[in-house]
Amino acid sequence: MKTIATNKMYYAYILLGSLYLLTKIIFFFISDVIGMRAIMHGTTPTVLTMLAGFWAMNVSNKGKRRSWEHWMLVLFPLLIIILTPLIMLIEKGPLWLEAERLPVLIIFEALAVAQLVLAVFMFQKFKAR
């Protein structure tokens, strides 16, 4: 029964990871602010966090005591929190916080914070076993 509950947390983490790209695609179609480069930048955190989630879930289901896979679940959202505003600043210069781009940044940061909280919670559960 613990595996099913734990797997739900991993699936929630993976679902949050897929929302990075989905957010960029939605903003691409509803506004002219997001371009193809932004979609490519949205693909990177999607792929990394989803792969980390699947990999850590696989390790957890096998009962292995390696925890560096679970640290990746924490590391990737931290990198997203730090690098997303930096990349926007480098790409767009002083106008990086225009009204149209701000919601994308807020959503990205909120997704990363949610993933970070979930990853810490999963890491604590994994260590407790």
- The pTM of this model reads 0.84
- Would you say 20 and 49 are in contact if contact means Cβ atoms under 8 Å apart? yes
What's residue 45's pLDDT?
87
Span 109-127, pLDDT tens digits: 999 999 999 988 887 776 6
Give me 22's structure tokens: 């989905």
Span 45-82, pLDDT tens digits: 899 999 999 888 888 777 666 677 778 889 999 999 99
